[in-house]
């Protein structure tokens, strides 16, 4: 059973960088045909895909956030991380990490429990 767990600060000041880590257990992020994703959800709003890293370390980001986002992986620790720069109150959301199958459907089959990040001074 694959499990994902987000971790990181729950409060970030405006203009600073949001940093989160997703720890994966029950499977290796460097093997298999999977994408490892970050997704966020502001309170009462829709899910928004932020970006992904694949098992080969390749990344792809949502064009709307591309200029501020960086996703990286730490294969020895079986973790992948999100950095979002120059945050504002609009970046306040629950942040999820999730796994997607590398096929033509991109179904997100395993999700973390989510972590609330609030941007406030």
Partner 1 sequence: SYAVTQTPSVSVSPGQTATITCSGDKLGDIYVSWYQQKPGQSPVLVIYKDINRPSGIPERFSGSNSGNTATLTITGTQAMDEGDYYCQAWDSSVVVFGGGTKLTVL
Residues binding partner 1 (CB under 8 A): 37, 39, 46-49, 60, 62-64, 96, 100, 103-109, 111-114
> Nearer to partner 1 by C-beta: 34 or 49?
49
CA angle 55/81/111 to nearest 5° reads: 75
**Cβ nearer to partner 1, comparing 16 with 108:** 108
Q: How far is the CB of 24 from partner 1 (least distance, A)?
A: 15
* Least distance in angstroms from the C-beta of 5 to partner 1: 11
Are 53 and 75 in contact, with CB atoms under 8 Å apart? no
- Asked if residues 100 and 5 have their Cβ atoms less than 8 Å apart, the reply is no
Which of 35, 13, 12 has the alpha carbon at shortest distance from 24?
Answer: 35
Q: Which is nearer to partner 1, 88 or 104 (CB)?
A: 104
CA distance 120 to 106: 34
**Min separation Cβ 83 and partner 1, Å:** 19
Between 63 and 76, CB nearer to partner 1 = 63
CA distance 19 to 71: 10
**Residue 47 Cβ vs partner 1, minimum distance, rounded to whole Å:** 4
């Amino acid at each position: 059973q694959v499990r994902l767990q987000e971790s990181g600060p729950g409060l970030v000041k405006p203009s600073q960088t949001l940093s989160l880590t997703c720890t994966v257990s029950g499977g290796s992020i460097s093997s298999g045909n999977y994408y490892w994703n970050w997704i966020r959800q502001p309170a009462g709003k829709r899910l928004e895909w932020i970006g992904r890293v694949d098992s080969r370390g390749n990344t792809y980001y949502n064009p709307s956030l591309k200029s501020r986002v960086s996703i990286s992986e730490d294969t020895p620790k079986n973790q992948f991380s999100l950095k979002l720069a120059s945050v504002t109150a609009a970046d306040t959301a629950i942040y999820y990490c999730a796994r997607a199958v590398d096929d033509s459907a991109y179904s997100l089959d395993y999700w973390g429990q989510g972590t609330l990040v609030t941007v406030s001074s």
